[in-house]
Amino acid sequence: MRYLMLLSGTNPATPPPPALYEAIMKLGGEATEAGVLLDTAGLLPSAAGARVGLADGKVTVTDGPFTESKELISYALYDVRSREEAIEWASRFVKLHRDLWPGWAGQTDILQVMGPGGGG
């Protein structure tokens, strides 16, 4: 089963510590070696993006940032056997932030991807 993980949050004023990057790379390496991490990348702040909307038949284009929600920070695509396994990997990821970047607050949303492995 495939799960899309979306990390969003609010970064503290302090810069992200290099140890956090290091730990994230290590965890990503473990997930890759376990054969479960299919894809992952960080996202630039939404100020660099745009939003294309449709309302009342009208297509609109709005420049970022999208201030009404927390910034999306990264995404990851996992292939695991269960939702609980996805939760376990996401928990490990969030705990790295807790341990290595004091003041950081945020969340990982876990969404199951439609596909032949279930959820279709």
* Residues in touch with other proteins (CB under 8 A): 1, 32-36, 38-39, 77, 79, 81-82, 84-85, 87-89, 95, 115-118
CB of 108 to other proteins, least distance (A): 15
Distance (Å) of CA 120 to CA 79, 116, 117: 15, 6, 7
Nearer residue to other proteins within complex by CB, 26 or 95: 95
Nearer residue to other proteins within complex by CB, 43 or 94: 94
- The answer for residues whose C-beta is within 8 angstroms of residue 80's C-beta and 6 or more apart is 1, 3, 36, 86, 89
**CA–centroid distance for 61 within its chain:** 24
CB of 3 to other proteins, least distance (A): 12
CB of 70 to other proteins, least distance (A): 25
CB of 116 to other proteins, least distance (A): 4
Question: How many residues can be counted in the chain?
Answer: 120
Nearer residue to other proteins within complex by CB, 71 or 97: 97
Distance, in Å, from the CA atom of 74 to the CA atom of 40, rounded to the nearest integer, reads 7
